[in-house]
Each structure stands twice: as C-alpha cells, then as structure tokens.
Amino acid sequence: MLALDPVMRALGGTWVAWGHGDADPAVVDENDRVAVPPEEESYTLRRLWLTEEEVENYYLGYSNQALWPLCHNVLEHVRFRDRFWNAYRKVNTKFAHGVVDEMEERGGLVWFQDYHLALAPREVRRARSDLTLGHFWHIPWPPWETFRVCPQKTEILEGLLSNDLLGFHLESFVTNFLNTCVRELDAFVDWAKKAVVHQGHMTHVRDLPISIDVERFERMASSPETEERIDAVREEHDLDGQRVAIGVDRLDYSKGILERLEALRILFREHPELVGELTFVQIAVPSRTEIPAYAHLEEKVDRRIEELNAALSTDGWKPVVYIKDPMPQDELVAFYRMADVAVVSSVQDGMNLVVKEFIASQDEEDPGAVCLSEFAGASDEINHSIPVNPFYTEGFAEDLRRALDQPLERRRDSMEKMKATLREHSIHAWMADFLSAAGEARRDAERHARR
C-alpha cells in the first residue's frame, strides 16, 4: 500500500506484509526480514509467504469478491464461497502469528490495515492482551441492511471489536458500523463516545480521513523536471493546443469509469464545438484481473473507448487517450499539472486519493478545475469542487462543461481553498491523529476492564 509508505518512514518499526513475485524472497534475510527503502533504510518489512491457492481464495476470493463488493454496496458482485472463507481465516491466523512473533517481548501498538485483516486482531488479542490494537478500514462500511447478508458477519464484527481503536474515513461509516453492532450483536453502544462494548472489551470507533504527503506532491509538481515532462507528454500524445480533462484510477467498478465515458459521449453530442478541442486522458491501471467482474469491466471500458474514438476522431485528433500502464508518481504529477479538469466519478469510494493528489499538484496561478463525485469520501472534506452525480449522466455532462468554462478567477479562488484544506490535513496529521486516538482508546479500554 503505497499510500502508507510515508507513515512507515516516519514511524520506523516493522511492517508485516505478504510477499510475492521473484524479487521479494530474494532480498529477505533468514528471518524473512528486509530493511527498506533501499536508498534510506527507515523501517523493516517482515514478509509472509502465501501459496497460490491462498492468494486465489484469500485475496482474490474473500477479500475482493466478498468484503470489497459488500462494503461498496454492490451485491451483484458478491460471492460467498466456503473455500474463500476458509482461506481468509487461515491467512488471518498466519498474519496474527507473524505479528506476535515480531512483537517478541515488546509492548506497544499493532496497527492493522484494511479489510484483508478483519480476523487477525482477535487472535493477536488472545495471545497478547497487553498490546494496543488499532485498525484502519480503508473502504466504506455499508448500512446494516447490506452488511447483514454476510454469512460470516459475527466473526468479522468480533474480529474488529478486538481492537482498541477502529478507524474509518467518514462519520457516516462510523454510524453504519455502530448501528451494525447494535443490530447484529446486540452490543452496547455509547453513541456520545462512539464506543462499542462487546464481551467486556471497549472499542473506540472514529472517523479519521486519510490524506497524502501534500508537500511531496507540491515539490514534485513545481520541479523543473515536471515542466519538461509536461512538454514531452503533450508531444507524445498529440495534446498540443488541446484542452485536457483527466481521470486516474485503478480499473475498478467502484470508480465510475463507464459512467464517466457515457457523460463524455453526451458532452461531445451536446457541445460539438468541443470536437477537436478537448481530449480526455484516461489513465487506468488494470487491477484484480483474475476476478470475472474486473475482467468484464476492463473489456467494457476498452470497448467504450474504442467506440468513442471510432465515432468522433478527426485527422490528428481523438477524444480519448487511454493509458493502461502503471506510472511512477513523478510522471503522474506531470499529467495532473497539465490537465485543465480532473474527473473523479466514483459510484462509491472510501476516500479517493487521486483528487487530493491532483489538488496538491496544481499551479496556483493557473489551476485546473475539479469535478468530484458526491459519493467519494473526499467530497466530505473538499467543498470547493464541482460536485457530480455519476448516476445522472446528462447532469454529469453539463458539470463537465461547467468545469471547462470556469473562469480563471473562480478556479484560483476554489483551488486556494481546496489547497488550504489539504495542507491543514496531510498524511502526517492523519498518522498523528490515529496514534493519539489509539492511545486514548487503550486507556479507556483498560479503565473499562478494571471497572
């Protein structure tokens, strides 16, 4: 998880993570450890090895065909299979053992990341009741009416309630989670304190929206190398003299890429003056391609883009430039800087870091405009974008037009406000907030246990 690298660099400590490919086993020592990053060793990676079958059933199975679609409210993609669940339990046990092993005799904090590890806290708690356990859930928590379809709902909830602190991006996810605990477990919820007591243990549940390393993006964006890259990118993709709108996503059904392409089709139909003037750059890195829902999405996105380009291209111009290769961040920043409009159209998204990266990369004199889905968690914080509803295609198309027409003064003013919000809350502030909330949660859990 690239987003967390700055956190680990600042904290030091050990990151227990699954290793794969040929390179990972080659670089670890006899205890499966390696100091990283190579150029400036700041923390330790402890690798765990998963079999192919575990990857298929734990990662591609329960994590990404049960929990991911469930939490994003897309029940049509949910697959509950016994072999998925068995592998999820087994791998969570493996992680719990890895963590306990790494902690040795030490006290301190164990910080679990995400939906792949819902069961591990319970096992770590059983082995080490003295540790502080915190967990951050990077995706939405759905309403109880959705979560209740999960056959393993009790185990998932009890795993998460073994933490002292459980963090989500948004207040609404916290509310959904607390409500789920009441409805499913009949647990005691202190709504004022946002805490759950279950089987004698108290867990604080907090909204702690994640951010990015804002300064790093600002630095990269204003570097002379980025200026050079912008020229190179314009030339490579025939963008000279073009207005550019951009979308950057993992190819995931939660990101609303098809909805965006449909809005683009309508935009060109309703505003033919944009033909030959506007290029949409879609950077979309294929993801989880072994899962049928993802393979189908990729095929559909490929086809829609081909159709749009076949229908509208003129000599030397095409409406969509489609880039599917993963890109290093400094190159991505050149695209962010070059674009006149960023389009984030998630149909459901825990946060969305792309919009934050785009904002941090803008030049204050001549910034781009931001179209941001109302259903991306980021829209709770970022109040000066153009809000879009990806489910209402004609309205979405007009929002794109508005973004392209936004006068410079308005863009400057909105960007200044969005940047100010972002600077107040970078990834370092998120980390500090989480750590302090974890300490407070632990003290409260101990007080409660003594009562």
Euclidean distance between CA atoms 244 and 435, whole angstroms: 40
CB of 111 to ligand ADQ, least distance (A): 14
Q: Is the CB of residue 131 less than 8 Å from the CB of residue 164?
A: no
- 62 closest CA partner among 117, 141, 20: 117
Euclidean distance between CA atoms 364 and 361, whole angstroms: 9
Please work out, in degrees rounded to the nearest 5, the angle formed at the alpha carbon of residue 172 by the alpha carbons of 440 and 432. Answer: 35
Site for ligand ADQ, residues 39 to 98, rule: CB under 6 A = none
- Does 357 help bind ligand ADQ (rule: CB under 6 A)? yes
- Does 351 help bind ligand ADQ (rule: CB under 6 A)? yes
Of 210 and 404, the one with the shorter C-beta distance to ligand ADQ is 210
Instruction: Please compute Rg for the chain using Cα positions.
Output: 23
Q: Count the Cβ atoms, other than its own, within 10 Å of residue 324.
A: 14
- Does 196 help bind ligand ADQ (rule: CB under 6 A)? no
Structural tokens at position 422: 């972002």
Grouping H, G, I as helix, E, B as strand and the rest as coil, residue 397 is helix
CB of 6 to ligand ADQ, least distance (A): 12
Q: Is the CB of residue 214 less than 8 Å from the CB of residue 422?
A: yes
Relative orientation angle of helices 120-127 and 82-103, to the nearest 10 degrees: 40
Identified binder of ligand ADQ from the candidate list 158, 164, 349, 399, rule CB under 6 A: 349
Q: Name the segment binding ligand ADQ (CB under 6 A); options: 120-128, 180-188, 350-358, 436-444.
A: 350-358
Relative orientation angle of helices 329-338 and 224-236, to the nearest 10 degrees: 70
Identified binder of ligand ADQ from the candidate list 48, 327, 386, 435, rule CB under 6 A: 327
CB of 117 to ligand ADQ, least distance (A): 14
Of 308 and 353, the one with the shorter C-beta distance to ligand ADQ is 353
Of 36 and 327, the one with the shorter C-beta distance to ligand ADQ is 327
Grouping H, G, I as helix, E, B as strand and the rest as coil, residue 451 is coil
- Does 189 help bind ligand ADQ (rule: CB under 6 A)? no
> Per-residue contact track with ligand ADQ, 250 to 279, x per CB under 6 A?
x-----------------------------
> What are residue 201's DSSP bridge partners?
198
Of 283 and 312, the one with the shorter C-beta distance to ligand ADQ is 283
Structural tokens at position 25: 């086993």
Of 86 and 175, the one with the shorter C-beta distance to ligand ADQ is 175
- Does 120 help bind ligand ADQ (rule: CB under 6 A)? no
Identified binder of ligand ADQ from the candidate list 78, 87, 91, 353, rule CB under 6 A: 353
Q: CA distances (Å), 433 to each of 62, 136, 171, 209, 349, in order? A: 30, 12, 15, 10, 22
CB of 212 to ligand ADQ, least distance (A): 7
- Does 332 help bind ligand ADQ (rule: CB under 6 A)? yes
Q: Name the segment binding ligand ADQ (CB under 6 A); options: 31-39, 57-65, 242-250, 273-281.
A: 242-250
Q: Name the segment binding ligand ADQ (CB under 6 A); options: 13-21, 260-268, 353-361, 365-373.
A: 353-361
Grouping H, G, I as helix, E, B as strand and the rest as coil, residue 207 is strand
- Does 352 help bind ligand ADQ (rule: CB under 6 A)? yes
Q: Tokens 């791998």 — which residue? A: 91
- Does 293 help bind ligand ADQ (rule: CB under 6 A)? no
- 17 closest CA partner among 45, 39, 43, 44: 45
CB of 382 to ligand ADQ, least distance (A): 12
Euclidean distance between CA atoms 175 and 153, whole angstroms: 17
* Positions that interact with ligand ADQ (CB under 6 A): 3, 138-139, 210, 248-250, 283, 285, 326-327, 332, 349-354, 357
